[in-house]
Chain A
């Protein structure tokens, strides 16, 4: 038997194992039939009794193709998950070798890399116009799962791998070449070591929201945070057999089944979650979270599907060209070029378009990208505002925008010059007055009867103002009515005495008097005690959290949460004042389904950021608690990560002051995006901040993590936050921070 036949036989055997693996035991009669044929041919060929082995082999190959085509229609969502995770699936190095004309790895070589799971290469695409040949460079960034699977960590990128990706995105920005990202990750590696899983993803998102080169992302396995770290792109393509999801189906099953201590979910529950999370390419295209689907061969692309690489090459060139073309100013030329490029039969290798952009075009591209993300997922939140109210808000917005821009951009600018001048004149006058009156002051200070204030303060009796005990708070937790004592969790190490509830929740503001441990308090406590009384004005309260994916049984749970908290979503947005400093606040409430963020919460957050920018107020994100993205909303939830980050970036770029204050437990998606990207992040004592909880870390990495791993003090030491505040001092500290960081004018730098 010649080598050629042996090779083709081996490839057929691989296809057979692949079939068995991805269907996990289903369609066994099909595979058994193929196996039988293959074994029969193998035996005949080895015995040399085949008349025409090539013809017989071709027949078997046709049979394989037929079965694959037939089974294609029977693929379930969970099969797709198995397809993208299969070792035979195409991976980034295959794409680099087959889609691009040449490449140089720049992010390290094989295992000798900061993080081998993040692969970075400068690649070249050659195109022609007429007889002329053009070389176009791109920066290719993506997760690599294969070609050394033992050190690739399954495409799960460590924080420093994401930092490396960001570094080379900035290189691409300097060089002005497009970035192509390929997402092949089940999720990020959840360790907190610097730069920190969550905080690094947040930084990546923040930078990508303003990256001044075209970015095209291709999603094969898009596992939540890890995918978002390189996924905020102008165009997002998705492979037809890929998945893009907020969480792995196994993770969702563990949450849905309320499993603890590494119990394994049943396959049925995992299948149920995969089906209900709407993770497939066509679902995401329908929602608008991806722009186009790249069709794969039946049962998913494998490295020998060369036609697939060709179509991927066409699609990726088309997407990059479209980004470039859509920045053109002249509508006619833009329309013509777009129409030409969108033709399915167009050979883009023969249509050359320069991938460089002018400064103005870059600004337009950024605007398009940001607008695109801000528009997404609005339909997934239920906006229950009546039509009249909506129109009134729109009208007010329409008239107030020019007025506010006149007030702040024109009047305040000149007013500042005048006041500076006045201040200088005043200073001079004061100095003059001081000199003039100096002899007189010398005379009077020696006169008897003038008691020094300092001496008086030191000798007089101090006043006991004990009557205000417990009355120093505008709001006290209703738990103060319960007659019981509580034990501080630190009592074993610090020997704290038991605390009497009525004391603890009223006068002590939920703080252990011995060690300073902060018992969690209700969100209302902060609203009423941090901000000036009667200064809180809530807006957009009619935007409701819903069940956009119709996840079975979830509508009732959302309704329960609404009834329990009396709010319509987990994010409350309001305007408030602290000692007359106005600000916009978005509060994520840990009491509403753990403070998870879904489409409604994201919508309200974006609206709050926009409002703060319009009114030139500082913007505070007070995180009473957040458990992450609401998994039952699937990609409607995960898209809030780039969306809200874009909103925050816009706000900060227009000169706003964005601060984040974490309380109780803040984890996962929100920390890894719009919260973690803030330059000023503070925490309340005894809070926990991190990417994944101890259970998830244990399950994904196999590492035991020490107790108190996520404590705010650890986060402070790791450099994730800037300071830790006592709950009773929040008001004073916030004011101090506003005045020192925001300056006298508070908002515009």
Chain B
């Protein structure tokens, strides 16, 4: 098991993700009116329907194509020397420094710390009555799982089948499915954490929630 506190320290040391925006294909590059230090926005809107800020235009065969910011971030580098030049596919154009949000940090930590058991097919899922009872009485952490344990009931249009848990032993950290709701293939059902790590993970998440300052 890796050291979670070290991970958090590492994230804190560099609380951003560098996104290198490269030319998707060959073409002549014209940069938009951007400079180092500008903050640009990615896709926005309820359905992400509003496109991100224009960074450059890549033209090939008289077909100008916009290159847009994929996420919110600060421009840390613009390869202005390429302005007006013909570039190859994959040539870095702009480097964005995307400051991590609280949720993203939490996701990174949980991704490392938890084992996610995923839905094998699209269906509705229920916990077995014993597990369900335990969770209702106390909380999710009260259920200990081990490899091969019968934990779920998978229901496809009323045809029900038992489903066994497969993965490392531990306690359920979080349940990701809801009663009477269909889950797609591959979406996580539960997150499992080794019992001795439980407290540490909880503390860490608490720390992230309280200490992490959101980038403005």
> Interface of A with B (CB < 8 Å)?
482-487, 498, 500, 704, 706-707
Q: Quick check: B63 and A485 within 8 Å, CB to CB?
A: yes
Q: Quick check: B49 and A706 within 8 Å, CB to CB?
A: yes
Q: Quick check: B61 and A485 within 8 Å, CB to CB?
A: yes
C-alpha spacing A484/B59, complex, angstroms: 10
With beta carbons under 8 angstroms apart, the residue of B25, B47, B63 that contacts A486 is B63
Q: Quick check: A485 and B45 within 8 Å, CB to CB?
A: no
Q: Quick check: A484 and B45 within 8 Å, CB to CB?
A: no
Q: Quick check: B49 and A707 within 8 Å, CB to CB?
A: yes
C-alpha spacing A498/B63, complex, angstroms: 9
Q: Quick check: A485 and B47 within 8 Å, CB to CB?
A: no
Q: Quick check: A484 and B62 within 8 Å, CB to CB?
A: yes
A706–chain B nearest beta-carbon distance, Å: 5
A-side contacts of B49, CB under 8 Å: 706-707
Subset of 5 A-B contacts with CB under 8 Å: A482-B62, A483-B61, A483-B62, A485-B60, A500-B61
Q: Which residue of A lies closest to B65 (CB)?
A: A487
C-alpha spacing A498/B61, complex, angstroms: 10
C-alpha spacing A500/B25, complex, angstroms: 15
B216 within 8 A of A: no
In chain B, positions 49-66 with a C-beta closer than 8 Å to chain A are 49, 60-63, 65
Q: Quick check: A487 and B63 within 8 Å, CB to CB?
A: yes
B104–chain A nearest beta-carbon distance, Å: 23
B81 within 8 A of A: no
Q: Which size bracket describes the interface of B in this complex?
A: 10 to 19
> Interface of B with A (CB < 8 Å)?
25, 45-47, 49, 60-63, 65
B-side contacts of A485, CB under 8 Å: 60-63
B203–chain A nearest beta-carbon distance, Å: 40
C-alpha spacing A483/B61, complex, angstroms: 8
A561–chain B nearest beta-carbon distance, Å: 28
C-alpha spacing A482/B63, complex, angstroms: 11
A-side contacts of B65, CB under 8 Å: 487
Contacts A485-B62, A485-B63, A704-B45 given; 16 further ones with Cβ under 8 A? A482-B62, A483-B61, A483-B62, A484-B62, A484-B63, A485-B61, A486-B63, A498-B25, A498-B60, A498-B61, A498-B63, A500-B61, A704-B46, A706-B49, A707-B47, A707-B49
C-alpha spacing A498/B47, complex, angstroms: 26
A651–chain B nearest beta-carbon distance, Å: 41
C-alpha spacing A500/B62, complex, angstroms: 10
A488–chain B nearest beta-carbon distance, Å: 11
B176–chain A nearest beta-carbon distance, Å: 25
B-side contacts of A486, CB under 8 Å: 63
B-side contacts of A483, CB under 8 Å: 61-62
Q: Quick check: B61 and A484 within 8 Å, CB to CB?
A: yes
C-alpha spacing A707/B60, complex, angstroms: 28
A-side contacts of B25, CB under 8 Å: 498
B64–chain A nearest beta-carbon distance, Å: 9
Q: Which residue of B lies closest to A497 (CB)?
A: B25
Q: Which residue of B lies closest to A706 (CB)?
A: B47
B-side contacts of A487, CB under 8 Å: 63, 65
A-side contacts of B47, CB under 8 Å: 706-707
Q: Which residue of B lies closest to A704 (CB)?
A: B46
B73–chain A nearest beta-carbon distance, Å: 20
C-alpha spacing A484/B62, complex, angstroms: 5
Q: Which residue of A lies closest to B51 (CB)?
A: A492
A579–chain B nearest beta-carbon distance, Å: 38
B-side contacts of A704, CB under 8 Å: 45-46
Centre residue among A485, A486, A500 by max chain B CB count within 10 A? A485
B78–chain A nearest beta-carbon distance, Å: 23
Q: Which residue of A lies closest to B66 (CB)?
A: A487
Centre residue among B25, B46, B61 by max chain A CB count within 10 A? B61
C-alpha spacing A503/B60, complex, angstroms: 16
C-alpha spacing A498/B62, complex, angstroms: 11
A-side contacts of B46, CB under 8 Å: 704, 706
C-alpha spacing A724/B37, complex, angstroms: 49
Q: Which residue of B lies closest to A491 (CB)?
A: B65
C-alpha spacing A339/B22, complex, angstroms: 84
C-alpha spacing A21/B183, complex, angstroms: 56
Q: Which residue of A lies closest to B46 (CB)?
A: A704
C-alpha spacing A486/B45, complex, angstroms: 27
B-side contacts of A707, CB under 8 Å: 47, 49
C-alpha spacing A498/B60, complex, angstroms: 10
C-alpha spacing A483/B62, complex, angstroms: 8
B-side contacts of A500, CB under 8 Å: 61
A506–chain B nearest beta-carbon distance, Å: 16
A662–chain B nearest beta-carbon distance, Å: 23
Instruction: Enumerate the 5 nearest inter-chain pairs by beta-carbon distance, A residue then B residue, closest first.
Output: A484-B62, A485-B61, A485-B63, A707-B49, A706-B47
C-alpha spacing A484/B61, complex, angstroms: 5
A462–chain B nearest beta-carbon distance, Å: 34
C-alpha spacing A486/B47, complex, angstroms: 26
C-alpha spacing A486/B59, complex, angstroms: 11
B25–chain A nearest beta-carbon distance, Å: 8
B-side contacts of A706, CB under 8 Å: 46-47, 49
B-side contacts of A482, CB under 8 Å: 62
B-side contacts of A498, CB under 8 Å: 25, 60-61, 63
B44–chain A nearest beta-carbon distance, Å: 12
B46–chain A nearest beta-carbon distance, Å: 5
B6–chain A nearest beta-carbon distance, Å: 38
C-alpha spacing A487/B25, complex, angstroms: 13
A726–chain B nearest beta-carbon distance, Å: 25
C-alpha spacing A704/B48, complex, angstroms: 12
A698–chain B nearest beta-carbon distance, Å: 12
